[in-house]
């Protein structure tokens, strides 16, 4: 048999119930009004107490995927996890998830780590596994993207978030990935989490360098994507070819500027080809810096229609949850599905989706997918995606002081000697999702973690 159209055929999303309002956090932190909301484009930030960790988030998303789509555990032959939230230097999150497959020990895969990019590489592994093994195995793959992003007190703390997404990867999928893949990898020190004498969840980050690394990778990937696509399809590709343009989102304003730079790339090429452009006054030969406020303002304005129709509507989770690291990119896919009925684009045209993934350090990729409107699996994915959007309004809004206290609680738990029990389990006012959410119940004297679920 021919294995083709490999991609996403089921999707699940879990994010914590606790959220802090970014405008309230601005006042609490004593920064200028609009610093987090207008300056970064953020609305809310989800966060975890000490009773949730990267394993519990992954368990919740994966269990919901299996249950909501009635997936037989024996139909899975590969399970790959992408995460940078390391709570064990050896044991992978994938091994914890095997508790959900008690009757199936023949499942390939483990964890993939490189900052926010690990989830996309996990996806690539799963897609390639299907192409290589499905004919013999007749089994599918699951990819889990799970992270908790928190920062020490200071300017980066407002860019946290948390979540987990599980994807079922199959042949003949409703959302299937296309060739080519464009990759950009380089040794950078923009964001990292070194092992030292003191355990910490907080990274070392240089925000200005990180933005430059992101933009360098973006431009390189788009150039490579255009070059490879021209060789493969014998034609140019443009942003206009895609129904949605989805980019990894540390915060919204970076994505808006990045879309402007992609649009500039198209305009440069069209200008070279003698086509009319709307970029009067822009020196196409100049090197554009994302930190050049005046030029970026002009580019953002020029790319406004692309931003408004192809990217901004699908950042609803990113704006309201924050930076989830590995799940951040595919949260936009879930929003695209959930808002699909509201999208005014021409439904007679093929729905092509463009993705850009970035992970500090750094590794990045650009790739595309096609959404098949006739695939029966799409209906369930749209239903689940709409429920994920609705759940944004059901979260528990806590004050900035409560948020700060909870992060301090996480620090105490991290540094406490085993055995230990999360403090939040005995405190009022800290909840998980109302049902089907796993939580950390205890850590025993041998530092083994045990989980329970809310049924």
Q: Which residues are annotated as a binding site for CoA?
A: 210, 253, 257
Catalytic annotation, residues: 84, 116, 248
Each as own residue / partner, the long-range contacts of residues 23-26 (CB below 8 Å, 24 or more positions apart, any chain) are: 24/399, 24/400, 25/158, 25/400, 25/403, 26/158
Q: Which residue has the tokens 């007190």?
A: 153
As annotated, the binding site includes 210, 253, 257
b/e per residue, 173-188, with b = 16+ CB within 10 A? bbbbbbebbbbbeeeb
């Amino acid at each position: 048999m021919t294995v083709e159209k490999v991609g996403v055929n089921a999707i699940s999303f879990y994010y914590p119930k606790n959220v802090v309002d970014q405008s309230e956090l601005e006042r609490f932190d004593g920064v200028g009004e609009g610093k987090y909301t207008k300056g970064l484009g953020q609305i809310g930030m989800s966060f975890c107490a000490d009773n949730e960790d990267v394993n519990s988030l992954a368990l919740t998303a994966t269990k919901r995927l299996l249950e909501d789509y009635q997936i037989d555990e024996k139909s899975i032959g590969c399970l790959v996890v992408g995460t940078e939230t390391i709570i064990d230097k050896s044991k992978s999150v994938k091994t914890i998830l095997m508790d959900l497959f008690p009757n199936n020990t023949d499942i390939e895969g483990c964890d993939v780590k490189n900052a926010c990019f690990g989830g996309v590489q996990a996806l690539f592994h799963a897609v390639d596994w299907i192409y290589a093994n499905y004919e013999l195995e007749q089994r599918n793959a699951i990819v889990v993207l799970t992270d908790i992003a928190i920062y020490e007190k200071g300017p980066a703390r407002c860019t946290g978030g948390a979540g987990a997404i599980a994807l079922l990867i199959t042949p003949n999928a409703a959302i299937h990935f296309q060739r080519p893949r464009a990759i950009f990898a380089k040794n950078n020190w923009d964001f990292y989490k070194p092992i030292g004498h003191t355990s910490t969840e907080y990274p070392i980050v240089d925000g200005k360098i990180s933005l430059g690394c992101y933009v360098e990778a973006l431009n390189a990937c788009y150039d490579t994507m255009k070059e490879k696509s021209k060789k493969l399809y014998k034609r140019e590709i443009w942003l206009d070819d895609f129904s949605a343009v989805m980019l990894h989102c540390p915060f919204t304003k970076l994505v808006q500027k990045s879309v402007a730079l992609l649009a500039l790339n198209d305009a440069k090429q069209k200008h070279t080809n003698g086509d009319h452009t709307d970029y009067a006054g822009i020196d196409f030969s100049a090197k554009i810096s994302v930190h050049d406020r005046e030029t970026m303002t002009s580019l953002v304005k020029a790319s406004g229609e692309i931003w408004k129709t192809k990217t901004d509507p699908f950042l609803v989770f990113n704006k309201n949850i924050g930076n989830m690291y590995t799940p951040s990119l595919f949260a936009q896919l879930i929003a695209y599905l959930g808002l699909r009925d509201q999208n005014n684009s021409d439904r007679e045209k093929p729905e092509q989706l463009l993705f850009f993934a970035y992970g500090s350090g750094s590794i990045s990729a650009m790739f595309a997918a096609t959404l098949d409107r006739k695939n029966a699996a799409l209906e369930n994915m749209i239903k689940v995606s709409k429920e994920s959007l609705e759940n944004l309004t059901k979260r528990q809004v806590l004050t900035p002081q409560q948020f700060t206290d909870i992060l301090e609680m996480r620090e105490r738990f991290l540094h406490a000697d085993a055995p230990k029990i999360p403090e939040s389990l005995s405190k009022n006012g800290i909840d998980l999702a109302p049902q089907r959410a796993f939580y950390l119940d205890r850590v025993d004297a041998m530092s083994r973690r045990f989980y329970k679920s809310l049924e």
